[in-house]
Amino acid sequence: MSNRTGKDTQESILVYRSGYLAAALSLLVLFSIVAIISGVGTYRISIEGSTHLLETRAIDIAVNIGFTLERLGIRNDLFPELVTKDTYENLAFLALYDEDGTILLHSNPSLVGRKETDPDVAKVLRLKKPDFHFSTLATGEKVFILDFPLHLHLSDKSVLQFHFQGEDSEREIKRVQSAKNFCLRVALHTYPAEKIVRRANFQLILICASLLILWGLAFFFVQAWRRNARLEAKLREQERMAMLGRMAAVLAHEIRNPLSSIKGFAQIHAETADSEDLKEDLNIIIEETKRLERLTTNLLVYARPAVLNEVEFRVKDFCQDVQRLLLSEEGRCDKVVLDCSERIVCLDRGKLMQIVLNLVQNAIDAIKDKEQGRVWLTMKVAGGKMKLVVEDNGPGLPEGLQAKMFEPFFTTKTKGTGLGLAIVKRLVDAMNGRILVRKRSGGGTVMEVVFPYKLRC
């Protein structure tokens, strides 16, 4: 009762711990979602704010220059002066276009008088609405462009005559004087906006890096928790096995002595019995006592902690010993085919023998009703691993059996104890090996065990 209560308490503690872990992970997920939404929102606001800063600054400059042109008129040196003297901060260049796309003023005087077909300028003159866009200069610099519509009234004195020299100068002056709609292009350096964007990028990267670090720590914490849970489960299993081992040792001691007496007397009377019926009955008693002895032996092997005793041996010699044991127990077992390496390995020979005999015995049981049944035992050494393969051409594994076949006391045999494969699994785990079960092509079962080994002990 106390053992059951202790087990229930441990399971309750594990459930509570799992609940706390799930709650902590849920909070972490919620915090991550909020942080990502906040970071993305801040980033978008920063991007929009940087663009809005450029727009506001460009419109402010365009309005002031419009008033200046109304007051001073079109002066050839006006735009170069505004750019070179840094009257307006972060100003890249200025240009004034008339309705025909001719550049009337430019911060670069060499461009004055040039006629350009610019769709952005044409759109602003047509719609009478400002237009914002980014453009890349010939130097590779990215600038922010504002094309701003202006409605100006120019007199003769306010019209620049520098680029109207020649026979048609008077006609050109009149044309410009009669014009009222112009397009002012304001180009700004994007340094302030880029600074805001860089800061927003840094904040977003910082948030993502913080979340990655936080999730990394959470991952390691979960792994540590799971490893601790596995260690606790293993410790509880070892405690249970130790208790079962002590109980099995007592039972085996108490059972084996009477069994030995029963078997001994039965063998003596079987040798001297005159009646065939009596001799047959005594032989049944002898066989059943042998079966009980094997059961107690298997129970002891499964329950006791597996302590490794590694020795050096030749794999070929080991297979010969396996063959001798099979011959002594099963008669001439000509259905088992052996293929073994000549290499010397360092492993626990006794436990390996138990593993091989159990697997081979299972395979022999699978083909006992098949006339052409065969069992193949292969032991090869390569790449620091020893591969043990036992395959048969029997009926194969029933569906759904593979998941339960290594459970103790689970068997499909009428006289089986269900401890053979459980012992195999326990010994393979103790030797740091792994066992794989698969169907054999053409029918049958393949049991493959892989062990790490050392060349010298």
Q: What are the angstrom distances between the C-alpha of 163 and each of 71, 110, 457? A: 21, 10, 101
Segment 296-308 mean pLDDT: 73
Task: Using a pLDDT cut of 70, give the percent of the chain over it.
Answer: 84
Using one digit for the tens of pLDDT, what is the confidence trace for 224-268? 888 888 888 888 877 876 776 677 777 777 787 788 888 888 888
Q: Is residue 112 part of a domain?
A: yes
Residues written for the chain: 457
- Label residue 415 by pLDDT band (50, 70, 90): low
Lookup result for tokens 């890249």: 92
Q: Is residue 416 part of a domain?
A: yes
- Label residue 163 by pLDDT band (50, 70, 90): very low
Which of 146, 162, 189 is a domain's end point? 189
Which of 189, 217, 252 is a domain's end point? 189
Using one digit for the tens of pLDDT, what is the confidence trace for 143-160? 999 999 998 766 554 544
Q: How many CA atoms lie within 13 A of 194 on its CB side?
A: 10
Query: Does the predicted TM-score (pTM) go above 0.95?
Result: no
Which of 189, 207, 228 is a domain's end point? 189
In degrees rounded to 5, what are phi and psi of residue 61?
-65, -45
Lookup result for tokens 């020795």: 311
Question: What are the residues whose beta carbons fall under 8 Å from the beta carbon of 226, sequence distance 6 or more?
Answer: none
CA torsion through residues 202, 208, 212, 213, sign: positive
Highest mean pLDDT among 107-111, 235-239, 441-445: 107-111
The predicted structure's pLDDT at residue 316: 92
The answer, yes or no, to whether residue 429 has pLDDT greater than 80, is: yes
Q: Is residue 29 part of a domain?
A: no
The Cα–Cα gap between 200 and 10 comes to 50
CATH code at position 446: 3.30.565.10
* Complete DSSP assignment for 400-426: T-TTTTTSTT---SSS--S-HHHHHHH
Q: Is residue 434 part of a domain?
A: yes
Q: Is residue 395 part of a domain?
A: yes
Whether 315 and 181 map to the same domain: the answer is no
Segment 449-455 mean pLDDT: 83
CATH code at position 163: 3.30.450.20
The predicted structure's pLDDT at residue 333: 62
Domain total in the chain = 2
The predicted structure's pLDDT at residue 238: 74
Whether 317 and 448 map to the same domain: the answer is yes
The answer, yes or no, to whether residue 141 has pLDDT greater than 60, is: yes
> Residue 369, exposed/middle/buried by CB under 10 A (0-12, 13-18, 19+)?
exposed
Task: Using a pLDDT cut of 90, give the percent of the chain over it.
Answer: 14
Q: State which residues form the domain around 420.
A: 308-452
- Label residue 205 by pLDDT band (50, 70, 90): confident
